[in-house]
A = this chain, B = another copy of it.
Amino acid sequence: MKKKFTIRDLAKEAGVSVTTVSQILNNKGDRFSKATQEKVLALRDKYKYVPDFNARNLILRSAKTIGVLVPNIANPFFGTFIEGVQSVARKEKFIPLVFSANRDPNLEKYYLSQMIERSISGLVIASATMTTDTINEVISFNDIPYILFDQNHTQQGDRVQTSDFLGGQLAANHLLDLGHRHIAILTSDNPSENLNHRMNGFKKAIADHQLNFDEVRDVIQAPLTTTGGYQATDQVLKTGASAVFAANDEMAIGLLRGLHERGVKVPAEISVMGYDNIYLDDYVYPRLTTVQQPIFDLGVGATEMLIELINSDNNEDHVQSFPVKLIKRDSTAPYKGN
């Protein structure tokens, strides 16, 4: 390891004091002569001097770092969310520390402690398995502001959300408008709170139409993945429904494959709807009708709120809601009777 080139070396080289260098490099050097300023700047470039981050933050008490906890980075949904986070973070000179915890509580705790150790300024928690209590226990003790998104539990505290209830209604109404009267639900076997809202909205719309809905027969539960949807195909078919609402696009896409393999025509024989509007929806067959969540914007919104929180020490609860929107594609069609 080469010896570190410090501010002292730079000062010596320039024939000035460390104060002078420090001030000039931090844009507080108006009081120094033009000549000195230029000399220092030139030398900085020549030696590519970069102030030591640790030393600097030790004094400034801020690492300008925000933690981001997501369940699965390889999922484009969260990837896009992270891009939203990054775009704001960059603008505000923060650096995001991203962790994919796979909904594993141990991993979540490990990463959480790592982040605290690194004195992150704030945290965006997307889809953790932690309860608000756990979060408060671990984080609040350290006074770290955080924003929640897509949690497992009804939450308090600052958060971003989309109108899941409305989204569920949107989905139901679309299917209802197409004339479907027997609709199945393909949901998670371990639903998070927002998913429950989504499904409640859906059921509400069904109930509003005086349709009866059999909780046992018409609700299929499986993991929220393509594989989960794929493996649930037979169960879905067994309901005899003319349309299915899947809790997310991944499941819907898996289901599409299962149906295709069994020769069941979508949407001719059964309509399928997803939720999220991931970019693949356009590339499956048939193209998937879904409800869009503005995922990039959610990342942006969460980060903006967080940074505001960090900068303001403001303690009111903030909740920001983002709109959802029906995206009609080819996987749903009018009910054709029997």
Binding site for B on A (CB under 8 A): 1-2, 4, 48, 50-55, 57-58, 61, 63, 72-76, 79-80, 82-83, 86, 90, 95-100, 107, 110, 113-114, 116-119, 141-143, 226, 253-254, 256-257, 260, 279-280, 282-285, 287, 313
Contacts and interface: CB of A to CB of B under 8 A. Distances in A.
A82 B55 contact: no
Nearest to A226: B283
B51 A117 contact: yes
A95 B73 contact: no
Contact of A100 (B48, B55, B58, B83): B83
A50 B141 CA distance: 11
B119 A53 contact: yes
A118 B95 CA distance: 10
B63 A74 contact: no
Q: Please list the 5 inter-chain residue pairs (A to B) with the smallest Cβ-Cβ separation, ordered nearest first.
A: A74-B79, A285-B285, A54-B58, A54-B57, A54-B54
A226 B279 contact: yes
A73 to B, nearest CB: 5
Given A283-B254, A283-B284, A75 B86 contact: no
Contacts of A2: 143
Contact of A54 (B110, B119, B143): B119
A144 to B, nearest CB: 10
28 contacts: A1-B61, A4-B61, A52-B119, A53-B117, A53-B118, A53-B119, A54-B55, A55-B58, A73-B73, A73-B79, A73-B83, A73-B98, A74-B76, A74-B80, A74-B82, A76-B76, A82-B100, A83-B100, A95-B114, A97-B97, A226-B279, A226-B282, A253-B283, A257-B282, A280-B283, A284-B284, A284-B285, A285-B285
